[in-house]
Amino acid sequence: MRISNGGELVTDKFEFELYPFFDKSDRKRISRTCNHIGLETKNALEWNGFPINGIAIGSDGFGNLIILTHSGNGILTDKIYFWNHESGQIEKIAESINELDE
């Protein structure tokens, strides 16, 4: 995520488009990062069943998200979760993003 600021995450089970970090350094970068993690998380928090401590980092294009979580102290966990938009359930899919990106 740091190297390409977004991109794709493809595994045997999942295919996600990763959200970028917002970059306001110039107009071109603002345009390329308009669907950033902060905005997508804000939007997801309005959906029924999205966890209040969830941070949306990617989407499968069908409404489901991959998320990180936090315990309210501003520190994110390393664990990666799949959030199903239909059921509102979350399922741990990896101990870290590195585990999925191998």
Whether residue 1 is contained in a domain is answered as no
Whether residue 2 is contained in a domain is answered as no
Mean pLDDT of residues grouped by 10 in the chain (102 residues)?
63 80 60 68 92 92 92 84 94 84 56
Q: Please, where are the H alpha helices in 3-79?
A: 27-32, 37-44
As for how many domains the chain has, the answer is 1
- pLDDT score at 92: 94
- pLDDT score at 36: 67
Look up residue 95 and give its two tokens: 């101990």
Backbone dihedral angles phi then psi of residue 68, each to the nearest 5 degrees: -105, 165
The reported pTM is 0.79
Which 8-state DSSP code applies to residue 76?
Answer: B
Domain that holds residue 57: 7-100
35-54: pLDDT as tens digits: 668 888 899 999 999 999 99
- pLDDT score at 98: 75
